[in-house]
Amino acid sequence: MKLRVSEIENSLDEAYKTIADQENSIKILQGHIQDLEKSQEKNKIEQELRLKEYNLLFHGIPQTETKEVQEYTEHLVCSFLEILCSFHQLKRRKMPFSNVYGLPKRVSAVKLQNNDHAKLVPPIVVKFLQMKDKNSILRLAPYARKFNAAITRHLPLAF
């Protein structure tokens, strides 16, 4: 009987060791999973940054309530840039855009001058073909405030 009891105790000890080893393996695997999730999130943000690298957001440019076509939206941005450059006596060269489109209506994230409450004016996204064009327009961003507008970089939502 004592022999049988000691065999059962040894068997239980081995089972407890196996369970402890399995729990340690699970903890290690959970750590690896968390590291992979963080890495995936970082890669997702980096990819989104690369996609939006050539983009600028134009806030506060009024649009009509009708569904805009790309040419109309592009015309609005070009007209705004012409006014902005002429006001500051800068010569504006022709800058081709890759894409121009309005985002869905939402409260603009940029607080505009002379507004007690932010208007529901959707920002316009402009994707430039060349980085130097984007940077030259971004340098005009402080002057856009005088026109109750704003020009910002298009950053991922995670930022």
Q: Give the pLDDT confidence score for residue 117 in this predicted structure.
A: 46
Query: Coil, strand or helix: which one is 133?
Result: helix
The answer, yes or no, to whether residue 112 has pLDDT greater than 60, is: no
| 159 within some domain | no
Do 56 and 85 belong to one domain?
yes
Do 14 and 29 belong to one domain?
yes
Q: Give the pLDDT confidence score for residue 103 in this predicted structure.
A: 79
| pLDDT tens-digit map of 14-45 | 999 999 999 999 999 999 999 999 999 999 88
| 27 within some domain | yes
Q: Give the pLDDT confidence score for residue 110 in this predicted structure.
A: 47
Query: Coil, strand or helix: which one is 87?
Result: helix
Do 3 and 65 belong to one domain?
no
Compare 154 and 86 and report the one with higher pLDDT.
154
Do 71 and 4 belong to one domain?
no
Output phi, psi for 10, to 5 deg. -60, -40
Do 59 and 96 belong to one domain?
yes
The whole-angstrom distance between residue 110's C-alpha and the CA centroid of its chain comes to 15
CATH code (residue 82): 3.30.70.1820
pTM for the model stands at 0.63
Do 2 and 65 belong to one domain?
no
The answer, yes or no, to whether residue 67 has pLDDT greater than 90, is: no
Do 24 and 81 belong to one domain?
no
Q: Give the pLDDT confidence score for residue 91 in this predicted structure.
A: 64
Do 69 and 123 belong to one domain?
yes
Which residue range is the domain that position 41 belongs to?
A: 1-50
Query: How many domains in the chain?
Result: 2
Output the CA–CA distances (angstroms, integers) from residue 67 to 32, 107, 119, in the order listed. Answer: 48, 18, 18
Do 62 and 22 belong to one domain?
no
